[in-house]
Structure formats: C-alpha cells, structure tokens
Structure 1
Amino acid sequence: MKIVLAGGTGTLGRRIAADLADRGDDVVILTRRVRDELPYRQILWDGATVEDWAEELSGAAVINLAGELVDRRPTRANVDLLRASRVRPTCALVEAAAVLAEPPLVWLQASTLAIYGDAGEPELDETAPVGDGPVQMAGVARAWESAAALAEAATFHRAIVDGTRQVVLRMGIVLDRGAPALTRLTGLVRWGLGGRAGSGRQWVSWIHVEDLLAAVRHLLDDASLSGVVHVTGPNPVRNAELMAALRAILRRPPAPSVPAWLVRAGAVALRTDAALALTGRRGVPRRLLDAGFEFAHPDLVPALEDLLLAPHIAP
C-alpha cells in the first residue's frame, strides 16, 4: 500500500512511518523540510497550498497527523496556532483529493478524545455527543473535524463520497518512550512532583504506542470501518492511579497531592496548560473491540513497565 503521511516528521509520525515501512508499505512524507535521517521519500509542501504534491494522493492511503503540539500555554496566540496548524493542512489535503481523477483509497484523520471536553464520569464510546470544554482542547478538535472548517470550498463531502473511506482517529494519550506526554509525566515524578493533580479523580484515556500502531494497521486494512473510531486503550484510569503507578515503577516515594490552584500556577512556570492535567474523559474503544481488535497492552501498570523498565531497540 502507498501511504502518504502528513505530519510524518513528529514523534508519532516517525513511529507510524517506520512501522508501515517495516511491513512493506511505500511511505511518502509531506514535509516543510527534508530530514536526511529519514529513509523515506519526502515531498516538500507548505501545508496550505495545493501544488504538484497533490498527485501523490492518487489511489493512496492518506494519514493526516499535521498539527503543533498541544503542550503549551493556552494563550489566544497559541490557540490560534493549534487550530491553524491542523485546519490549514487538512484543507489543503482535502482540496487536493477532491480534484483527483482517482481519489485516495482511505483517509485516516487524526483527532483527539479531548473533543469531549471535561466529560466527568460517563463512559464515552463513539456514540457519545461532543462536549464543551477548553477551547484549546475541545474547540481546536471540533475545528479539526468539522467539514465546514476543513473544506472552505465545500469539497470535503465530495472527496469522501467519491470513493474515499474516511476514519477519524480520536486518540487517547499515546504512551511511548521519549514521546512528549510520558516525558512530561516521568519528569514530574522524578522531580518529586508526582502526586495527584487536583482531585485526582479525572479520567485519563491512554494507549500504548504498540497498540496504536497495530490499530493504524487494522484501520488501514479493514474496509468495514469508517467514521469516528476511538484509538485508546480499553481501561482508562484516574489521574491518581496513573501518578501512583509511575511513582511505583520509577521507585519514588509517595508525593503530596497538588491542589488545582497550584497546578495552574505551576503550568505558567512550565509553559504548559493546566487543563491537560485537570480535565479528563473516560474514553473506550468500542468499535475496535467490536471489530475483533486485540490489545497487547490493555492494562496500565504492565504497559508502563514495558515502556520504562524493559530493554528495547530504538525505532
């Protein structure tokens, strides 16, 4: 299968590219700057303008991961950056696909479970209504998925109707060695700041990177799946459970809880967003499970032990 990957030079994009290349797929990365260390064909684009790169989409599988990291202060400028860095490249991809004689075969569109906002206790599967929440999380995610926002020229529906199977990947937090989320969490624990955040009862939806890679392969190959699919593990945990597991695995003593006001103050110093720690959602991968997908790392503690303690070969 030919894979055209937008956002393929980031941490997750590199993992997906390597995994698909290993199984024999022809991986092509759309990038603003060629990275000599990457062993894939790289095509320059500006993430906004439809140019010669558009022909690469013909008959291919498109995986769109384009977007800046969310781990930043929720200022208006940063929120605008998060939205534009997702919507503009997606619009360009959609506009390119809409005019091809042979449209993409399948389109995996990255999104996030943060689209449900601070969802509280209910268990959320793919039928759950999109909620309200911080604009830098739920608001950006809604814009990312919105057909109106993604297709300023009203071409998005045509691109899908004319033969492209689309899957929207609403992802939980991806746990991987060296990835931003796990690096941030382990750093806090090692600095003695590994207590629960706020009440500690907020739900954390997470997925081991190996299960995410397997889910991507499954969704590329299973023609029966389209629409929204939760790409997250089957057993979300509360923030307090996550932090306790990290302390135990990293052999750190119990740490005091961090009240919400102090999380907000600390987020300013760390140049991050307190909502990442203080809000939560209890997502479950109902459609993947119903399709027979089996998780290799369904439980948090063994998953973290695999990532933080087991020897590994760098991808």
Structure 2
Amino acid sequence: MKIIIAGGTGFLGEHLERYFTEKGNQVYIFTRNPKRSNEIYWNAKDLGDWKNRLENADVLINLTGKSVDCRYHDKNKQEIYTSRIESTHVLQIALDECMNPPKIWLNASSATIYVHSETHVNTEENGIIGDDFSMNICKNWEKEFFAINNEKIRKVALRTSIVLGDKGRAFPKLKAIIRMGLGGKQGRGNQMVSWIHIGDFCKAVEWIIQNEEISGPINITAPEPISNETMMRTLRKKLNIPLGLNAPVWQLEIASIFLKTETELLLKSRNVYPENLIKRGFRFAFPNFDQALAQLLKP
C-alpha cells in the first residue's frame, strides 16, 4: 500500500512507519521539518505541493496536533485547538480535489472525549461525553473530521488512550517516577487508566484498514483498564522498587507547575473499553497490564 502519515514524526508515527514499512508498504510522512527522502513539507494549515502525494494513495493517517502535555494557558489552549482543527480541515480540502483519494482516512482523536468515570465503562455506543476544555477539543476535532461525507473515503476516528512503549512519553516517565521513590498512588488512586501497548496500537490500525466495515469513532484501548493505584503497585513490583510515596492532589498541583503539565493527565479517570474492536474479532497481543509490562521490561 501507499500510506501517508501526516504529523508522523512523533512516537506513534515512527512506530507506524516502521510497522508498515517492514511489511513492504510505501510510507510518506508529512512534516514541518522534512529530513529524509520520504518526508514531505507541510505546515498543517495551508495547501501545498504535499497534496499531490494524496493522489492514488491507499491510506491517510493524520496524527497532527500539539501535545497536551503542557500548561493549559491561553496560548497553549489555542495551539492545541488550532493544530488539530486546521490540519484536519486542510486535509479535507486537499482530498476533495483528488481524482483518486485514499480509500480510508484515519484521524487521531482521544479517549479523553469521555467524562471522568471510575465505575461507568465508556464504549463507543454508551460512552458519556461531557463538557470541559479537553472534551470539547475532542468533540470539535471529530466534528470537523466527520463534517463532510466522502463516498469514496471511509473515515475512522481513533479514540486513543495512553500508548505504552519503550520510547514513548508516558512509560519512561512512569519508570523514572517509580525509581525516584515517588511511585505511590496519585490522588485517591481510584482513577481508571485506559492504555494500550504500542504493538497493539499498530496492529489495530492495520486491522481497521483491512476491515472495510469499520468506520466512525473507534476506541483504541486495551480491554482491561486498571486503577492508578494498581498500575503503580504493579509497576513497582516489576521494577523491584518496594516503596513509593503517595502524591496527594495538592502536591500534584504544585509539581505540575514546575513540570509544565496539567494534573488532569494523571487524575482524570479514563474508563474506556474497545467494544467495536472486540465485537468484530480483533485480538490483542497484550490485553492486560501484566502482559504489556512483561514485554516492555524485557532485558
């Protein structure tokens, strides 16, 4: 296949590129800073020569968006919003001009679209979508994505949770926190953590591409969410760190200022289940946290 990954130089894009290239596919990356022969310049908001690469492509994957691992002041909020909306909008314009557009367009979204929930399990069908900054970002992102129905293009919004990988942002940070002796529960520890191993993320993307009946929003999460307290305890055990200090909310609020992040990333309960993947027969290589850790912590 000919696969285009817009915003593909980050953690997810690098793994998807490697995954599909190793299977013999041709992968092109849209990026602001092209350095390799398969990388094409785009600024994620204006039409340019990059649009010609979409002609006769099989797959478009859009991962563009400023990281939410930052302080939510007005400037960052605006960049988080515009980076997602503008990139999705300009891709739609470019695809409308294609004679032979990609057969499928997968656009990043987030499991953060669902409300904080410690007991209610959010599936695509019964998930509760709320009203705050992060959820509204996701709602507007998907609204822009699905605004136009292209008969030639199947659209899938990837409601992705925390993706765990050796070189990802989340997993190395968790290991560092625990090794510093700070690996206790965060807040009350009751918040559910929805996650997925990077291998299953790539596998799920490929599976969605191959299964033509899949469309609309899809939860890209492992089938077994885990509480924050259990997650931290399990990881401490695997790393042979017997103790970990708990971090009450007030400490996290102070620490988040110095770390230039937001406590929401740790304290929001993302209790999400991949019902559509499971119902249609997708099989996870790492369905539970212990299995994922066993692979991630291999010597």
Amino acid at match of 2:116: D
Q: In structure 1, how many angstroms separate the alpha carbons of the residues matched to 2:161 and 2:150?
A: 28
Q: Give yes or no for contact 1:103–1:163 (8 Å, CA) kept in 2.
A: yes
What TM-score do you get using the length of structure 2 for normalisation? 0.95
Partner of 1:4: 4
Partner of 2:101: 103
1:125 aligned counterpart, secondary structure:
coil
- Post-superposition offset of 1:130: 4.6
Q: Does 1:239 align with 2:228?
A: yes
Q: In structure 2, how many angstroms separate the alpha carbons of the residues matched to 1:27 and 1:74?
A: 34
Amino acid at match of 2:222: G
Counterpart pick for 2:294 among 262, 280, 305: 305
What TM-score do you get using the length of structure 1 for normalisation? 0.91
Partner of 1:280: 269
1:161 aligned counterpart, secondary structure:
coil
Partner of 1:143: 140
Amino acid at match of 2:30: L
Q: In structure 2, how many angstroms separate the alpha carbons of the residues matched to 1:23 and 1:6?
A: 20
Q: In structure 2, how many angstroms separate the alpha carbons of the residues matched to 1:204 and 1:296?
A: 18
Q: Which stretch has the larger CA shift, 86-95 or 231-240? A: 86-95
Q: Give yes or no for contact 1:195–1:256 (8 Å, CA) kept in 2.
A: yes
Q: Does 1:44 align with 2:33?
A: no
Structure 1: runs of 5+ lacking an equivalent = none
Structure 2: runs of 5+ lacking an equivalent = none
- Post-superposition offset of 1:301: 1.5
Counterpart pick for 2:117 among 109, 113, 119: 119
Partner of 1:219: 208
Q: Which stretch has the larger CA shift, 231-240 or 113-122? A: 113-122
2:102 aligned counterpart, secondary structure:
coil
- Post-superposition offset of 1:58: 2.2
Amino acid at match of 2:126: A
2:98 aligned counterpart, secondary structure:
coil
Partner of 2:19: 19
1:55 aligned counterpart, secondary structure:
helix
Amino acid at match of 2:42: W
2:109 aligned counterpart, secondary structure:
strand
Counterpart pick for 1:208 among 197, 208, 230: 197
- Post-superposition offset of 1:295: 0.5
1:122-149 deviation line (CA, Å, top 9, x unaligned) = 01111134522541x21221221113xx
Q: In structure 2, how many angstroms separate the alpha carbons of the residues matched to 1:239 and 1:134?
A: 22
1:60-100 deviation line (CA, Å, top 9, x unaligned) = 21000011211111212111111111111111111111122
Structure 1 residue ranges (4+ consecutive) displaced by more than 6 angstroms after TM superposition = none
Q: Give yes or no for contact 1:196–1:257 (8 Å, CA) kept in 2.
A: yes
Q: In structure 2, how many angstroms separate the alpha carbons of the residues matched to 1:232 and 1:79?
A: 25
Q: In structure 1, how many angstroms separate the alpha carbons of the residues matched to 2:247 and 2:33?
A: 41
Q: In structure 1, how many angstroms separate the alpha carbons of the residues matched to 2:29 and 2:245?
A: 45
Counterpart pick for 2:185 among 188, 192, 196: 196
Amino acid at match of 1:51: G
Q: In structure 2, how many angstroms separate the alpha carbons of the residues matched to 1:245 and 1:134?
A: 31
Q: In structure 2, how many angstroms separate the alpha carbons of the residues matched to 1:256 and 1:181?
A: 19
- 1:40-189 matches, within 5 Å, as 41-60=38-57, 61-132=59-130, 134-135=132-133, 137-147=134-144, 156-157=147-148, 160-189=149-178
Amino acid at match of 2:11: T
Q: In structure 1, how many angstroms separate the alpha carbons of the residues matched to 2:117 and 2:56?
A: 38
Amino acid at match of 1:270: L
2:283 aligned counterpart, secondary structure:
coil
Matched length: 298
Amino acid at match of 1:138: M
Amino acid at match of 1:285: P
Amino acid at match of 1:302: Q
Identity %: 34
Amino acid at match of 2:96: A
- Post-superposition offset of 1:191: 1.3
| CA 1:134–1:262: 2 relative to 1, 3 Å | farther
Q: Give yes or no for contact 1:111–1:169 (8 Å, CA) kept in 2.
A: yes
Q: Does 1:259 align with 2:241?
A: no
Q: In structure 2, how many angstroms separate the alpha carbons of the residues matched to 1:128 and 1:52?
A: 42
Q: Give yes or no for contact 1:117–1:134 (8 Å, CA) kept in 2.
A: no
